[in-house]
Amino acid sequence: MAGTTQTQIAPKDFVKRIMDGERDFSSTRLTGALDAEAGYAGLDAYLREQDLRAENLIAAGSDWSGLKARGLFLPFSKLAGINLKGADLRGADFRRTDFTGASFEGADLSGATVIGCRFQEANLAGATLRATDFYEASLAGAKLPGADLTGAFLLRLALKEADLTGAVLTGAIMYRADLRGVIGLDRVVDLGTVTFHQTIVTAAEQAIIDKALGGMPFFDVRSE
């Protein structure tokens, strides 16, 4: 957060403090290869045994840009406004986490589980989101220019008024996704390869999708 002092924390200290029961890491500066720490496997096992729904990890307003934490298990966290620009979070599990207003520019969340996450107004420009599971997540108003969503699972996803200019949607699966007011839909790469089912659109989005599919009605939409 602008104007907020960030407290530097080393990856090894982060591991220890979590396993000692600490949960509030608000306004911290955490960088480096967390997944290279000797205790990373132990941290994963520990976190999977905790009730993180009741004891949320909090890191709102923190700067974790460039963090390498593949496979990180951190569901139900409160990470609004966090900076994860350029982070490597492949295969991570963040289900039901609040990422409102967060930055993921150039980050890699391929294969990550972000079920039910809140990404409202988040910046995912240029992020790699290949095969990422966005089931019931909200990306309303999010920025995704140039993001790679190849093979992503966009089921019951809110994309209302999100910016998809130049995003790659090769083979993505949409089910009951809300595309009303999406920006740049006509400039999405491989829109015609997306599987659409009960997609929520207005006439404007439907016309763009019809054109991408060659005018063939191979998808279900419902107007609301």
> Cβ of 181: how many Cβ atoms within 10 Å?
16
Residue appearing with tokens 């910016």: 163
What is the CATH classification number for the domain harbouring 201?
2.160.20
Evaluate whether 126 touches 107 at the Cβ level (below 8 Å): no
Please write the tens of the pLDDT for every residue from 73-102: 999 999 999 999 999 999 999 999 999 999
Residue 53's domain comprises: 1-224
Evaluate whether 224 touches 180 at the Cβ level (below 8 Å): yes
What is the residue-averaged pLDDT of the chain?
94
Count of structural domains within the chain:
1
Distance CA 189, CA 78 (A): 32
Evaluate whether 154 touches 131 at the Cβ level (below 8 Å): no
Query: What average pLDDT score do residues 149-159 get?
Result: 97
For residue 168, pLDDT over 70 is answered with: yes
Distance CA 183, CA 46 (A): 42
Task: List helix spans (H) across the chain.
Answer: 11-19, 40-48, 203-212
Task: Give the list of residues 6+ apart from residue 198 with CB closer than 8 angstroms, or none.
Answer: 175, 176, 220, 221, 222
DSSP letter for each residue of 32-87: SBGGGSTTHHHHHHHHHTS-TTTS--B-TT-B-TT-B-TT-B-TT-B-TT-B-TT-
Query: What average pLDDT score do residues 124-130 get?
Result: 98
Going by pLDDT thresholds of 50, 70 and 90, the confidence category of residue 214 is confident
> Which pLDDT does position 221 carry in this prediction?
56
> Which pLDDT does position 5 carry in this prediction?
82
Nearest CA to 137 among 157, 151, 152? 157
> Which pLDDT does position 1 carry in this prediction?
44
For residue 109, pLDDT over 60 is answered with: yes
Give the three-state DSSP class for 12.
helix
For residue 211, pLDDT over 90 is answered with: yes
Query: What average pLDDT score do residues 120-149 get?
Result: 98
Please write the tens of the pLDDT for every residue from 22-76: 999 999 999 999 999 999 999 999 999 999 999 999 999 999 999 999 999 999 9
pLDDT over 90 for what percent of the chain? 92
Query: What average pLDDT score do residues 2-10 get?
Result: 80
Query: What average pLDDT score do residues 115-137 get?
Result: 98
> Cβ of 76: how many Cβ atoms within 10 Å?
18
